[in-house]
Amino acid sequence: MTFFPFHAALGSDGPAAGIAGDMSLYGWLIGSWEMDTVHHLDDGTEEKSTGEIHFGWVLEGRAIQDIWIRPRRPAPPTMYGTTLRVFDPGIDGWHIIWSDPLNQDYSRQIGRAEGNDIVQVGEDSRGLKARWRFTEIAGDSFHWIGEERASDSDPWRMTYEHFARRTAP
């Protein structure tokens, strides 16, 4: 058996042959980004910070994985998580799995295009409904909005905003 280092086995140069079109919803994110973050607290105040995001092709180009770090390194992180995004032709949508072991924060969602936006809806590890949206999408920037609510009858409450700018393709 040939040994392949973990990173070489995980990473891919691009989408798998035959599915590049399906991968385009998130494929434009591949590369590195810096972000300004606004955390909207329950008491109406805001905490601001910076961060970085890195997206790459993984699993022989069948998925996209990212790493979200806040604040930007080398500062000690307050968030250090990863998302795995896998397209499912059976539902014409994406399975989204978020994990931030630093904060024990986990979420499963389904992502789809809605007009010019990408909207991901599911539940987090606290049992709250979660909606994450990529809006104001451009080749070199996007606005990410995180929202939550306890039940379908409650209004969405904005919890986080990330204003991202591309730093490397």
pTM given for the model = 0.92
Place of tokens 């058996």: 1
**C-alpha dist (Å) from residue 158 to 41, 133, 139:** 9, 11, 25
Residue type, 43: D
Cβ atoms of residues 81 and 102 within 8 Å:
yes
Write the pLDDT tens digit of every residue in 92-147: 999 999 999 999 999 999 999 999 999 999 999 999 999 999 999 999 999 999 99
**Model confidence at 3, in pLDDT bands (50, 70, 90)?**
low
Phi, psi of 43, deg, nearest 5: -85, 5
| Token pair listed for 145 | 């909005």
| Token pair listed for 34 | 């810096």
| Token pair listed for 140 | 């070199």
**C-alpha dist (Å) from residue 119 to 4, 93, 97, 113:** 36, 10, 14, 6
CATH node for 6-168: 2.40.128.20
Residue ranges covered by each domain of the chain: 6-168
Distance CA(30)–CA(38), nearest Å, equals 23
Distance CA(97)–CA(85), nearest Å, equals 7
Cβ atoms of residues 130 and 146 within 8 Å:
yes
Cβ atoms of residues 85 and 64 within 8 Å:
yes
Write the pLDDT tens digit of every residue in 14-55: 999 988 888 999 999 999 999 999 999 999 999 999 999 999
